Amino acid sequence: MDNDELGLYEDDFIDDNYAKEYGDLYLSKIKKLRETITQTNADETSFSVFSLEAGLGKSLHTLKIIDSILDDWDNSLSFLIVRNFRIDIEQSVNQLEKHNKGLHTNVLGITFENWSEWQFNLDKLKDIRVLIISHQRYKNLCLDDKYRQAFMENREVLIIDEKIQFPIYTFSKITYDETRSLLHTGVQQEYDKVCSGLLKELNKQEIEKNKNKVVRCEPRIHPKTLGNFKKHMEVNIENERNMKHKNKLKEFMAGLEQWYSTKCLYNGGNISTFNRNHKLWGLKNNIILDASAGIDGIYKLGNFNLVGQERIVDHSNSQFTIIKFNSSKSNLQDNQSKFNPEICEKIKSNHKPHDQTLILCHKENYKAILEQLYKAEITKIGIGDDYNGENFAINWFGNLIGKNEYSNFTQCWIIGTPNIPYEQYLIHYMMYKQSDLGKKSTDIQLGRFKNDEFKAVQIGYISSGIYQSIKRIQRNERPQGEFFLVNGDPQIVSMVLSQIKGTDNVKSMDMDFVQKGKGDKKRDIIDKFVDYVYGLPKGMYKKKDISEAIGITNNFNRVLTDARVQSLLPITENRLGLGILKIHNKQIEKLIDPDKKDSDVTM
């Protein structure tokens, strides 16, 4: 296949190792990418999702194709490119300016720094051939028709590099406490009023203990209460000098607008929702570049056409080791006293003198793992974004986009499963399906949604996260890496390996200790306590009698101080509760009868 067929420059593939190794098989991918970019049969509601294999340079090749189009006087296509971060925008502009051979070529990257100028010159945007913006600006444009139309005018092709992650707004007790701590004491009383409906919903769901499904809910508030608080907050945010605090308050207010105006989802102490205006919008021809699109369940929901999925990079010289262990965040934390020392010893013993080893985990767990690595005498470790050539690096899920500093590493340990809260999978479903949940069951069984569509989104999200993590290392034409995947779910493992050609060398490894089962005695006892007292008639009961009835043998005080029990107590200055129980020195008082309605309970 020659460059005329590809429509690129003569020297584009002279030093391309993938072209040398895979020839026309590889070049046909680039040709298909060009055809996808230049096609004219799409519309504003459909998206071609180009699933070029991670590491093959889909962003770079896209820019090369656009560059060649700009130098073709017979081609007048104009583009809107959406990239993750400012540095990506700047690199894209620099790349396109390398071959600025035609005077008609016009490229502009919109960043925070120059937006103050261009927002007053929107009419000039239509004359720019290639406009490059960030993911965040694309999301902002969802909420502003005027600005969005200015960015769309007189352009035909939209290219989104990586999947857009629209914001999900989550309210929890942690959210409540953190936001309250940022407010002046004069605003806190109004804040408590505006949060009372949300806290009541949290308490209600906590009592009902809907653990095996996501629950639909609609928190309520009087419009005047919300309006008064918004006026207070406008002044509070305006006067906040700490930019980090200011942004947190703005984020809370954006969530507040949605929690009280949309249908929400509850699970595990979270009330979550999203802005219905946050959705994909497009031009005449729309492309999403996403290496893991073939296994990401959201692309089976909407008007998406998957292109370029075939994998070509041969991994037959690599070794894949599956460590069968439940690697959910909660299970790893439950077992960390034994798991962390053993996994760190395995990392140390498998690391050879010339190896470079990348360790990927949950952000919440990395400090504990790091501490254990130090104890195992592995002391020179690049942490997160602070990597400076060390032979070991540790990073976490959600912080890997655009990270190429590990490309030549020889080992990768993935010691966690990139789960998100259950309700967020369903929000991803609604965002990309552009539909509510309807009457579909939200029940969960053995950690998976029973509904097939929801389950596909859940499994696809996890699998694509692991696949993208694996592809952080050995980004070359003949990978020879060692990949260690801690995961006890054969369906997830199978789906991940299906995206990697030549996974012939697969072996398994077991942990030496026996992992704890799910849950613990403390959690079970508290559930029994809540169930028991919630069913008691109004009256006074001895603590001794209650403890004997439900089998509490020691440390009754730990049960009474648990957040689930505290939520049953009356409201105080520092706590909002349902007012169902009152705890005395030796007795527990039930304040309402079991058939008392939630609406009759005074907050």
Q: Which residue has the higher pLDDT, 261 or 571?
A: 261
- The pLDDT score that the predictor gives to residue 527 is 74
pLDDT score of 521 more than 90: no
> Among 38-42, 93-97, 319-323, 404-408, whose mean pLDDT is lowest?
38-42
pLDDT score of 213 more than 90: no
- pLDDT band at residue 330 under the 50/70/90 scheme: confident
- Report how far residue 99's alpha carbon sits from residue 9's, in angstroms, rounded to the nearest whole number: 10
Q: Could you tell me where the DSSP H helices lie in 278-378?
A: 329-334, 336-350, 366-375
- The pLDDT score that the predictor gives to residue 569 is 82
- Report how far residue 86's alpha carbon sits from residue 83's, in angstroms, rounded to the nearest whole number: 8
State the average pLDDT over residues 360-369. Answer: 94
- Go through 66-81 and write b for each residue having 16 or more CB atoms within 10 A of its CB, e for each that does not: bbbbbeeeeeebbbbb
- pLDDT band at residue 528 under the 50/70/90 scheme: confident
Which two structure tokens, joined as six digits, stand for 502?
Answer: 């030549």
- The pLDDT score that the predictor gives to residue 501 is 93
Q: Name residue, tokens 């209460």.
A: 225
pLDDT score of 520 more than 50: no
Residue type (1 letter), 421 = P
pLDDT score of 273 more than 90: yes
Which candidate, 527, 537, 531, places its Cα nearest to that of 596? 537
pLDDT score of 598 more than 50: no
Q: Give the single-character DSSP code of 383.
A: E
State how far the alpha carbon of 96 is from the alpha carbons of 111, 114, 309, in Å: 17, 19, 27
pLDDT score of 467 more than 60: yes
- The pLDDT score that the predictor gives to residue 206 is 74
- The pLDDT score that the predictor gives to residue 176 is 94
pLDDT score of 180 more than 90: yes
Q: Which residue has the higher pLDDT, 369 or 602?
A: 369
- The pLDDT score that the predictor gives to residue 561 is 83
592, 578 in Cβ contact below 8 A?
no
- The pLDDT score that the predictor gives to residue 594 is 65
- The pLDDT score that the predictor gives to residue 82 is 98
pLDDT digits (tens, 9 = 90+) for 14-52: 788 999 999 999 999 999 999 999 987 667 889 999 998
- pLDDT band at residue 597 under the 50/70/90 scheme: very low
State the average pLDDT over residues 127-140. Answer: 96
pLDDT score of 315 more than 50: yes
Q: Give the single-character DSSP code of 302.
A: S
pLDDT score of 73 more than 90: no
> Among 46-60, 204-218, 268-282, whose mean pLDDT is lowest?
204-218
Q: Which residue has the higher pLDDT, 232 or 279?
A: 279
State the average pLDDT over residues 218-233. Answer: 91
Q: How far is CA 193 from the centre of its chain?
A: 31
465, 397 in Cβ contact below 8 A?
yes
- Report how far residue 234's alpha carbon sits from residue 179's, in angstroms, rounded to the nearest whole number: 15
pTM of the model: 0.83
State the average pLDDT over residues 77-101. Answer: 88
Which candidate, 91, 148, 96, places its Cα nearest to that of 119? 148
Show Cβ contacts of residue 236 under 8 Å, excluding neighbours closer than 6 positions.
183, 184, 187, 249
pLDDT score of 595 more than 60: no
State the average pLDDT over residues 375-389. Answer: 93
- Report how far residue 436's alpha carbon sits from residue 449's, in angstroms, rounded to the nearest whole number: 16
> Among 34-38, 227-231, 555-559, 574-578, whose mean pLDDT is lowest?
574-578
pLDDT score of 334 more than 60: yes
- The pLDDT score that the predictor gives to residue 100 is 57
- The pLDDT score that the predictor gives to residue 601 is 36
- The pLDDT score that the predictor gives to residue 42 is 66
- The pLDDT score that the predictor gives to residue 425 is 97
- The pLDDT score that the predictor gives to residue 394 is 97
550, 556 in Cβ contact below 8 A?
no
Which candidate, 115, 200, 108, places its Cα nearest to that of 155? 108
Which candidate, 11, 52, 15, 55, places its Cα nearest to that of 31? 52
Q: Could you tell me where the DSSP H helices lie in 209-222?
A: none
Q: Which residue has the higher pLDDT, 12 or 53?
A: 53
State the average pLDDT over residues 94-102. Answer: 71
Mean pLDDT, the chain, integer: 88
pLDDT score of 103 more than 90: no
- Report how far residue 220's alpha carbon sits from residue 201's, in angstroms, rounded to the nearest whole number: 9
pLDDT digits (tens, 9 = 90+) for 449-462: 999 999 999 999 99
Show Cβ contacts of residue 516 under 8 Å, excluding neighbours closer than 6 positions.
331, 334, 335
State the average pLDDT over residues 284-308. Answer: 93
Q: Name residue, tokens 């949290």.
A: 202
Q: How far is CA 84 from the centre of its chain?
A: 14
- The pLDDT score that the predictor gives to residue 11 is 62
